[in-house]
Amino acid sequence: MSASDAKPDAKSTDKRDASPASDANQPAEVTFASLNLSAAVLKAVNELGYEQPSAIQAQAIPLLLGDGNLLGTAQTGTGKTAAFALPLLSKLKTSQKKPQILVLAPTRELAIQVAEAFQTYARYMKGFHVLPVYGGQDISGQLRALRRGVDVVVGTPGRLIDHINRRSLDLSELKAVVLDEADEMLRMGFIDDIEKILSKTPDNAQRALFSATMPPPIRRVANTYIGDAAVVSIANKTSTVEKIEQKYLIVNSHQKLDALTRILEVEDFDGIIMFVRTKSSTVDLAEKLQARGYAASALNGDLNQALREQTISKLKKGVLDIIVATDVAARGLDVKRISHVINYDIPNDNESYVHRIGRTGRAGREGKAILFVAPKERRLLRSIERTTRQPLVSMEIPSGEEISGQRIERFQNTILEALQKQDLSSFRELLAKISHDNELDIADIAAALAWQAQQKTPLYPSMKAFAAPAEKHKGRLKNTEKNKRPQRDNANSSHDAPRRDKAPRKPNPKSGGSDKPISSLRQHPDVELVRYRIEVGSDHGASPGDIVGAMINEAGIESEFIGHIDMQSEHSTVDLPDGMPKEIFQHLKRVRVRQQAMKIEQVTGLGDKNREKPVLKRTNKKRPKIEGTIKKRGDKKPSRQPRAPKPEDFS
């Protein structure tokens, strides 16, 4: 197997697979022993179990063992760290005090990882010292280490600039400079810092630049500071995604959490990294997963370095199973047990997607990547497929039956394990006594115990009105070929309205806009309804069908669970099932019908949903002021809405 970008496992003795024989860039006979590495470095490589180099290693190592510069293009996870670390260490003289090798990395995690790789490869080099320098760490410790003397410095651009300005980092004796993941440093805005650092390095220092892509600014830096360089390109092979099973799921934003929960129920995973766009989203999603019983934690740039390292260590040790991270925070992260990468938020650029899924399936291991795609983000999905040159497979949200099946299987395995490993004789005697004393069948007792054991995680979860899109409105949200037409953001289109044998009756403004219920709840007598007010009425050109369409598409409510709709001129009321999730309620506040925000608010509970509406009696008393009446600018008097019913009206 090839040496990977990850920190090598010093205790590993497994012989790993070689790169594919079909790779034209790597002859089958090339081995690490044939690459003229130093004896100390080769001994470390052999101890790690590496046999054949990867394509990038087979080409880069001979070039860097010489004096030439190198421009390498290869995707993440192809073994770039070993490609430059092994040859540069083979030429290193540990008797010098000033740094001889400088490696620039985009993030502190990658800097630590590269430094650990150098330390592992140099384990048999006497007097070797490597120092990672990055922000978020006390600079005094770095200053002391630099004064004592180090051979290799691996750092992030910002902290390296700090040391250069302090004159604590002497670059005069550098023999080699490496830019690792240069495209990511460009994306993070470090291009000016990179140029400043390179301008301070000796002209005769050997230079190597590695990047997954080669955008124009990176090529300009290469032309300016690397000069005449040998080009090693393993691009367009998408080697990092060949062993990654990639799937995508079409899901609306407010349904993501429920879809994610269902996926976690049925997926057999070890460790997971979930990617979101913002720092606040990492904390929010991690807390929601914790509330659902998952060992999850956030990883973002706001965490101090000690806490970040502690979080990653917990993931490696199995204390945590899920990390919710931003692109920057997880850059360069490599943990062997990561079996899944879930893109909870789709990345804005294709390179980020490649880097994200590169956290799994590394160094020949298999992995799985799942991408959440909103209907309006299909364009980004197609762009990602063009970049990776692999079509992503459509998947469906697991149904209630699938979830139930998985829970039953785990429950059965638990019972079988207990039967094999535990002494149950005393419990058999106890159950036999209960059966005899109460004249009960043993099967009935076992069923009662099973029911009690599954209280926290029901084996047969009930599906409510506010269910996941896989079971609510299946034809719209499942990823079949017939349903790849993007949905509209509003409910104006007649396509969004539910199909009916008879169209809803148009409201009559003269009669107050009242309309008959457009769906029947007779088949669901156990459903309690709550009345909501929405700021959309007949004056906005809306119809009951528009409101029903919005409730179906935006809240995932089946039409049969939507109760009475009362259309007024400037607002309406609609009866919906009790227990609407908070995230759906907040989402509906912003949904627009006929270009008018719904601004939904709960009015009251309905009690007996089959009760007839009270008939309001005429009265000569002065009409009371109605709370909640919206007075528009320029109105001389409040709109004449019916008085809210009082308890005495029902007597």
Q: What is the pLDDT of residues 101-112, one digit of tens each?
A: 999 998 887 888
pLDDT score of 363: 57
**131: pLDDT strictly greater than 90:** yes
The number of CA neighbours under 13 Å toward the Cβ of 454 is 19
Q: Are the beta carbons of 176 and 206 closer than 8 angstroms?
A: yes
CATH class of 244-394: alpha beta
pLDDT score of 335: 82
The per-residue pLDDT for range 41-51, each reduced to its tens digit, is 999 988 887 76
pLDDT score of 454: 82
Checking DSSP bridges between strand 244-250 and strand 229-233, what pairing results, if any? unpaired
| Position 40 confidence tier, pLDDT thresholds 50, 70, 90 | very high
The per-residue pLDDT for range 433-459, each reduced to its tens digit, is 998 889 888 888 888 888 888 877 777
CA 75 distance to own-chain centroid: 20
CA–CA dist 384, 354 (Å, integer): 9
Can 244-394 and 488-605 be said to share one CATH topology? no
Q: Are the beta carbons of 356 and 244 closer than 8 angstroms?
A: no
Q: What is the pTM of this model?
A: 0.45
Domain formed by 488-605, architecture:
2-Layer Sandwich (3.30)
| Position 519 confidence tier, pLDDT thresholds 50, 70, 90 | very low
CA–CA dist 599, 588 (Å, integer): 7
Domain spans in the chain, listed from the N-terminal domain onward: 32-233, 244-394, 402-453, 488-605
> 152 in helix, strand or coil?
strand
CA–CA dist 175, 433 (Å, integer): 82
CA–CA dist 519, 73 (Å, integer): 60
Report the percent of the chain where pLDDT is more than 90. 22
What beta strand segments (E) does 83-162 contain? Answer: 101-104, 130-133, 152-155
**501: pLDDT strictly greater than 70:** no
Domain formed by 32-233, architecture:
3-Layer(aba) Sandwich (3.40)
pLDDT score of 5: 42
